[in-house]
Amino acid sequence: MTASSRLDLRDRAKCFGALEARRFDVVVIGGGVTGAGIARDAALRGLSVALVEAQDFASGTSSRSSKMIHGGLRYLAQGHVKLVREAASERQVLRRIAPHLAQPQRYLIPAKSARSLAAMRAGLWLYEKLGNVPRDERHEVLDLVELGRREPAMRTDGLRGAAEYTEFLTDDARLVLANARSAQAAGATLASYAEADGLLLEGGRVAGVTVRSTLPGDERQARVLARLVVSAAGVWVDHVRALEAGQRDSRLTLSRGIHVVVARDRLPVRYTVVLPTRDGRMAFAVPHGRFTYVGTTDVFHDRADYWPAFERADVDYLLDAVQARLVAPPIADADIVALWSGIRPLVSEPGKKPGEVSRKDEIWTSPAGLVSIAGGKLSAYRAMAEHVVDLCVRRLGDATRPCTTATGPLVGGERVLGAGEVRRLCADADAARRLAALYGDEAPGISAGGGDVAAEARHAVLSEGALTLEDYWVRRSARAWFDERAGLDSLEPAAQAMAPLLGWNDAEIARQVAACRALERDSRRPLQKTGS
């Protein structure tokens, strides 16, 4: 780790001071994957950039996805060839710049007839061609005997066979962090818990934003001047557009998706298995270390929330899909380790059902010059960011360096750890694999610091910009989703390790722990309604 890739945001006066110290070329609103990707690209091209995030980096949709880096096979069936080509090729890019955040994963799609197997073969052939898939990772078509041998958890009754192909899994929040830290290393100024709450105008043109701190007890404000303002505020894009007079119309449709996590031995899939749902969609059961997660749903949601409420019916919908296609005793509520819910910022297409709305991205420029970007997929974030920065460069009219985000490594992705190195990270093989997948080439540093919750929590504060316990538990360590009892046992040791670094007294430690426990309790609330 270099000193410049260390993201330490504890000094709030310094942070807000840096926002006011100059006129930036670009200020980016929103530190999800889109905004962090834009900030990195713009900074690498030599533009001066500020990135302001209202909460923690990735606290919106970018920590609630299905964590798949995929080309969107189903969008091919809907005819979106351009979208698929871009996302499918981006898989190989991410693998090159952050191998730990693009773990290859074999998928299985069941087929009920020879005809659908033939259609899958043709579709996958095109998909792999569009995505430049290497020969040894191309699809295979399996008959029932082979399917039963490879995935004993799959029910084969009523099937003719399955297609097996490769996609990639990531940790979405850490992908955002890697981009944010790489942006800072390239010279960007970053602030979290800094909400843009107003637009500054000069001669009727947007010339910056006002920012206020959202950390409890911190009343700080800043005026951030910039030649261009880009909003990558995800499901809040319409709110930011509405800061400009006369821009109150809505461009987005919001759709909710939830995920359910169980112990791997309750749902022992070897592959990511595609599960047909009762309404003709596809859900997935995804093996993830000692856990399996199942997702996702796609229902309209009427407001932008950080912790979107969901219904008992959302959970039952996923569990029904599991029962229909996998050999597993019914999953009881007590088997559910964790649940998460997120909202898709989809570009409005009135009259369509949630699953039919295109996942394309769109860029709008307002009359006063505010640039907004929304829609798209985590998988294609880098290409989206490149398009936005191309536009910024055209608008600014400056000579800049070319885009290098497809080749330069992200923080943690400089090199791939060897198998022996991964083994030496930790006595427990699963824990060692987890460290390598989350931290990449920074994992040996965590291991040398003790390799435990306290070491991770200290690293989160000193190098990854964490300012609250939730920042560590949900978005730096993923323990909120992938740990026994939703990682509740890690809260106290993590808070104790963070306290001296963040100046917390006993009352503050208790407040931080209680806030995380409340989030966990609330996430399980829908289960209390007529639970199994």
Ligand X SMILES: Cc1cc2nc3c(=O)[nH]c(=O)nc-3n(C[C@H](O)[C@H](O)[C@H](O)COP(=O)(O)OP(=O)(O)OC[C@H]3O[C@@H](n4cnc5c(N)ncnc54)[C@H](O)[C@@H]3O)c2cc1C
- State which residue, 224 or 262, has the beta carbon closest to ligand X: 224
Closer residue to ligand X, CB minimum distance, 227 or 344: 344
CB of residue 325 to ligand X, shortest distance in Å: 19
Q: Are 178 and 342 in contact (CB under 8 A)?
A: no
Nearer to ligand X, 68 or 147 (CB): 68
> Which among 325, 326, 372, 319 is positioned nearest to 347, based on CA atoms?
372
What gap in Å lies between CA 336 and CA 316, rounded to an integer?
12
| CB nearer ligand X, residue 283 or residue 516 | 283
Both tokens assigned to 354: 């949630």
Residues interacting with ligand X, by CB under 6 A? 29-35, 52-55, 59-62, 64-68, 70, 195-196, 232-236, 240, 257, 296, 342-345, 376-379
**Least distance in angstroms from the C-beta of 60 to ligand X:** 2
Q: Which is nearer to ligand X, 230 or 378 (CB)?
A: 378
Which among 147, 65, 76 is positioned nearest to 342, based on CA atoms? 65
Integer angstrom CA distances of residue 89 from 17, 127, 263, 335: 40, 10, 33, 37
Nearer to ligand X, 85 or 377 (CB): 377
Rounded to the nearest whole angstrom, what is the least distance from the CB of residue 2 to ligand X in the complex? Answer: 26
Tokens of 317: 């919908």
Work out how close the CB of 182 gets to ligand X at its nearest, in angstroms, rounded to a whole number: 15
Please state the closest distance from residue 29 (CB atom) to ligand X, in A. 5
Identity of the amino acid at 311: E
Q: Which is nearer to ligand X, 34 or 213 (CB)?
A: 34
Q: Which residue has the tokens 């579709």?
A: 123
Minimal distance, residue 392 CB to ligand X, in Å? 17
- Rounded distance between C-alpha atoms, residue 92 and residue 365, angstroms: 31
Compute the half-sphere exposure of residue 343: CA atoms within 13 Å on the CB side of its CA: 24
Question: Other C-beta atoms within 10 Å of 411: how many?
Answer: 29
Task: For the CB of residue 31, give the shortest distance to ligand X in the complex, in Å.
Answer: 5
Instruction: Provide the 3-class DSSP secondary structure of residue 16.
Output: helix
Indicate the residue whose CB is closest to ligand X. Answer: 32
Between CA 64 and CA 70, with CA 68 as vertex, the angle to 5 degrees is 135
